[in-house]
Amino acid sequence: MRSLRQHLFVLTILIITLTSTYVEICHARKNTHWRTKDEIESSFSTKKHKGKSNGTTHHNHSSKHHPSPKLNPPPPPPPPSGPSPYAPVTPAPPVLHGTTFNVLDYGAKGNGVTDDTKAFQDTWAAACKIAASTMVVPSNYEFLVGPISFAGPVCQPNLVFQANGTIVAPLNHKGFTSGLLQWIEFTKLRGITIQGRGIVEGRGNYWWNINSDSDDDPSVRFYGSYNVTVTGITIRNSPQFHLKFDTCQSVEVHGITISSPGDSPNTDGIHLQNSAGVTIHHSTLACAGDDCVSIQTGCSNVFIHDVSCGPGHGISIGGLGKDGTMAVVSGINVQNINMTGTQTAARIKTWQGGSGSVKNVRFSNIQVSEVETPIMIDQYYCNGQSHCANKSSAVTLSDITFQGIVGTYTVQPVYLACSDNTPCTNIHLADIELQPTDGINHLYGPFCWNAFGDIKAPIQPTITCLKNEK
């Protein structure tokens, strides 16, 4: 009987043990605390060492059940070093257009006495930063401005210089030794318009009276710029060139007036060099001191039309090839021009000893009145010097047309003096009707030398000196 009791006792203990194990397994499943072997060992090690602290022993109450500790979630990954792709993007500031900057707001006095150069510089510096902005020179003011450069290339494109007032040059050399090659310069700009009814007064009398022989004194010069427009303004009494374009592309000049007296030296109206795509039209150029338009080396695709010229020296290509230099000019079209009281109307002039070429040039529909020599090619140009050495080389001239030259002359109707060693070829004369001015007694007939080409009637006076092509 006692043995049976012992067996029942052992069986009971076994059942209790199995039941307790089953409950613990179910509890673990319910809470999804499935742990790896390493975690269990780590937990066991932690429990094992919790019983010791600073060498003090605590009683272990093993009769109480302690639930397994919850595992902490892994720490979040560190943020990326760059900006978050989901961060809001700050919008770029809007591009401003059409802002106006008045020189009076930057300290200009406009009394014709105070030097306003710095005010003009500061105004430009502000306008230059904003595309399509306008710098205003207001009307009813006279601004004394020294040598100044309105410079790029950091400027925004399509700027406007609104010239409504009068700008006058200083009566001294102050500032002209700073390396500037002109009085007012616009350089390295992309889209620049000079417009308005203002006056640019060069006060040339001061410069002419001190016998300034430098070519460094044009009133307004554009250099290295693209898409240039000059319209409406008047430029007068320049120290030398009135308006100069050097190394520019896509230029338009229209509706302007240029004037200087007869005793003004080297005062070309518009001077072109190393420039392409130039159009000059509907303007009045009274440059008694020199050419109305002067076309120099490096020019191509130039179109001049509906221009009044005179007094002055006419419209000229050259002089080219000075000091043995090379010159190239092509694609020049001059038409619908009125010439009054000029030295020539359509002229090409080259120095002896030069090289290069002039080709594809056309002068047409030119009305002349009391012009000394309307049609001229001069390959012995000497610029008024008494003696120029004879040289064998020359700039080559070909494909030159003079058509529809009509009116009166005072010295000689046609003068074609080509190089001894390099003849002019493909010279075309057509519809030439030139009469001597009444009352002129000392006249010369047409002259040709080493010039080859053809003639198409009507021709008056008769021209027999142009040779047929070889």
Supply φ then ψ for residue 27, to 5 degrees: -60, -40
Instruction: Decide if 313 is catalytic.
Output: yes
In a domain, 406, yes or no: yes
In a domain, 451, yes or no: yes
Strands 190-195 and 414-417: unpaired
Residue identified by tokens 């500790």 is: 69
Query: What's the rounded mean pLDDT across residues 437-458?
Result: 94
Show the domain range for 315: 183-460
Please tell me which of 49-58, 111-120, 146-155, 461-470 the model is most confident about, judged by mean pLDDT.
Answer: 111-120
Single out the catalytic residue among 116, 242, 291, 313. Answer: 313
227: pLDDT strictly greater than 50:
yes
pLDDT, position 401:
98
44: pLDDT strictly greater than 50:
no
The answer to whether residues 414 and 375 touch, using CB atoms and an 8 Å cutoff, is yes
In a domain, 54, yes or no: no
In a domain, 307, yes or no: yes
Residue identified by tokens 């600073």 is: 54
In a domain, 21, yes or no: no
Q: Give percent of the chain above pLDDT 70.
A: 75
The helix (H) or strand (E) run that includes residue 49 is helix 37-50
Query: Exposed (0-12), middle (13-18) or buried (19+): which is 344, by Cβ within 10 Å?
Result: buried
The answer to whether residues 381 and 318 touch, using CB atoms and an 8 Å cutoff, is yes
- Transcribe 293-351 into DSSP letters: EEE-TT-EEEEEEEEEE-SBS-EEEEEE-GGG-EEEEEEEEEEEEEEESBSEEEEEEE-
| Residues 6 or more apart whose Cβ sits within 8 Å of residue 14 | none
The answer to whether residues 422 and 389 touch, using CB atoms and an 8 Å cutoff, is no
**pLDDT tens across 267-312, in order?**
899 999 999 999 999 999 998 789 999 999 999 999 999 999 999 9
**pLDDT tens across 350-397, in order?**
999 999 999 999 999 999 999 999 999 999 999 877 678 889 899 999
Single out the catalytic residue among 246, 268, 290, 378. Answer: 290
Instruction: Decide if 290 is catalytic.
Output: yes
CATH assignment at residue 240: 2.160.20.10
In a domain, 114, yes or no: no
Q: Please indicate whether residue 32 or residue 457 has the higher confidence score (pLDDT).
A: 457
In a domain, 299, yes or no: yes
Residue identified by tokens 């700009």 is: 189
Question: Number of structural domains, the chain?
Answer: 1
In a domain, 211, yes or no: yes
